[in-house]
Amino acid sequence: MSVLRSELYRTATVRSSWLAMFASLVLGLAFGWFSEDFWTLFAGLAAFGVAVVSTAQHYQHRTAVLLFLGQPRRLRALAAQCVVAVLITTVLTVISGLTVLPSGEGEQYLSTVTVVPLMAVYGVANATVVRHPTWLFSGYAGWLLFVELLIGRMESPLPFSSFLGAATGRTDALLAFAAWTVAALIAAGWSIRRDLTAD
């Protein structure tokens, strides 16, 4: 619980974090105004981005050292980071999707709000493994564009495609995305034990 409160306070007091959250909120509201599908895609990407940034900046600015000094049982620290990311991204998604509701797409709104927490956990897990947000974002940009969009046409059981499928109510896609998230969490659970070197 102390790690949870500490992480929430940190996120709320780091200017870049709340600027990113504010920007994702405004953009989400705008996307929702034009298209519920765009909003769903953006909600997933925003959740991934916010989760990655909030986790990876610990490694980027070396504050992971302080986090692990305060909570040396690192799996608990990872769990707290997941909960924080879920809380923040769920609130952002709930608010940013308000512009979708007038178009009568309540079902997609609810599905997206339900699946976004998984995306947040997926983002935290990825950031824990890779530790460098720039590498992660550029890697996933290429992956999304070339693998999931051009080759898979966003219909394959790959992470972002299955997120979109799950957000539109497909159970098989939800299961596929849950499997990706569990796999990422297992990798994160192994990776978080790595030494924090003084580089």
CB nearer to other proteins: give 9 or 190: 9
Tokens in use for 128? 């824990």
Q: Which stretch binds other proteins (CB under 8 A): 35-43, 64-72, 87-95, 107-115?
A: 64-72
Three-state helix/strand/coil letters over the chain: CHHHHHHHHHHHHCHHHHHHHHHHHHHHHHHHHHCHHHHHHHHHHHHHHHHHHHHHHHHHCCCHHHHHHHCCCHHHHHHHHHHHHHHHHHHHHHHHHHHCHHHCCHHHHHHHHHHHHHHHHHHHHHHHHHCCHHHHHHHHHHHHHHHHHHHCCCCCCCHHHHHHHHHCCCHHHHHHHHHHHHHHHHHHHHHCCCCCCCC
3 lines the binding site for other proteins (CB under 8 A): yes
Closest distance of CB 51 from other proteins, Å: 17
Start-to-end Cα distance in the chain:
30
171 lines the binding site for other proteins (CB under 8 A): no
71 lines the binding site for other proteins (CB under 8 A): yes
182 lines the binding site for other proteins (CB under 8 A): no
Cβ–Cβ under 8 Å, residues 20 and 123: no
Closest distance of CB 198 from other proteins, Å: 6
CB nearer to other proteins: give 44 or 133: 133
CB nearer to other proteins: give 156 or 191: 191
Cα–Cα distance between 77 and 47 in angstroms, integer?
19
195 lines the binding site for other proteins (CB under 8 A): yes
Binder of other proteins out of 69, 102, 153, 171 (CB under 8 A)? 69
| Residues between 15 and 44 that touch other proteins (CB under 8 A) | 15-17
Binder of other proteins out of 23, 63, 75, 141 (CB under 8 A)? 63
75 lines the binding site for other proteins (CB under 8 A): no
Closest distance of CB 134 from other proteins, Å: 17
**Where do contacts with other proteins occur on this chain (CB under 8 A)?**
2-3, 5-6, 9-10, 13-17, 57, 61-63, 65-73, 193, 195-198
